[in-house]
């Protein structure tokens, strides 16, 4: 039984291009990189690294794929985050092909990879909240799942909101109250009805 090879897609090609670029910027030969990655306990031979970088050529078949563990080990050794290997080195309006998603501006792709917004042509506040609640850990997102925060955390949130309202509306009690009302609407769990 023969198995057909799946061509390396746009994300695999991006890894190949970025690996070669960052390796060059770091002044590392394939042999140097192989030694450093192998020292982490994730052996990658010079030949394997060469095959990974050759995936940038386009055809993609017959080259080595990068699995998640390879990607993380390479990022650690190169002193970057995994996104620096997966995504283009720009975050502007340049169109970027994303595996299984299509083409998007590079800035939008980085926002998605950073867990800031869903990878959709357009989205509303509910889409954003749902995405962030599942893409980012507590403490790293604007939204929280009901019941996720302790009473102490909710009290700290209210105190921080009050401090912000006072600072931006120095000496203006009406402005302070208005700012707090907006904050109440944005975080109903921190401000239960009647509080």
Angle between helices 46-54 and 30-39 (to 10 degrees): 120
pTM to 2 decimal places: 0.75
The separation between the first and the last C-alpha atoms of the chain, rounded to the nearest angstrom, is 68
Q: What local confidence, expressed as pLDDT, does residue 182 receive?
A: 87
User: Facing residues of 104 across strands?
Assistant: 96
pLDDT, the chain, mean: 89
- Domains parsed from the chain with CATH numbers: 1-86 (1.10.260.40), 89-143 (no CATH), 144-195 (no CATH)
Residue 99: which of 89, 90, 108, 86 has the closest Cα?
A: 86
Q: How confident is the model at residue 60 (pLDDT cuts 50, 70, 90)?
A: very low
Structure-token pair, residue 5: 């090879």
Residue 96 scores a pLDDT above 90:
yes
Residue 86: which of 9, 1, 193 has the closest Cα?
A: 9
Q: What local confidence, expressed as pLDDT, does residue 91 receive?
A: 94
């Amino acid at each position: 039984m023969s198995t057909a090879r799946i061509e390396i897609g746009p994300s695999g090609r991006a890894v190949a291009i970025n690996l070669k670029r960052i390796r060059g910027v770091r002044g590392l030969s394939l042999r140097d990189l192989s030694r450093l990655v192998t020292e982490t306990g994730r052996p990658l031979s010079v030949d394997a690294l060469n095959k990974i970088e050759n995936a940038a050529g386009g055809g993609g078949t017959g080259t080595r794929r990068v699995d998640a563990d390879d990607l993380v080990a390479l990022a650690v050794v190169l002193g970057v985050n995994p996104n620096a290997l997966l995504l283009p080195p720009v975050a502007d309006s340049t169109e970027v092909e994303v595996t299984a998603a299509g083409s998007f501006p590079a800035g939008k792709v980085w926002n998605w990879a950073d867990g800031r917004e869903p990878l959709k042509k357009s989205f509303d506040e509910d889409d954003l909240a749902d995405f962030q609640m599942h893409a980012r850990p507590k403490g790293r997102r604007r939204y929280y799942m009901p019941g996720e925060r302790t009473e102490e955390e909710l009290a700290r949130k209210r105190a921080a909101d009050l401090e912000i309202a006072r600072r931006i509306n120095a000496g203006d009690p009406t402005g302070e109250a208005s700012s707090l009302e907006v904050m109440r609407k944005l975080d109903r769990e921190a401000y239960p009805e009647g509080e």
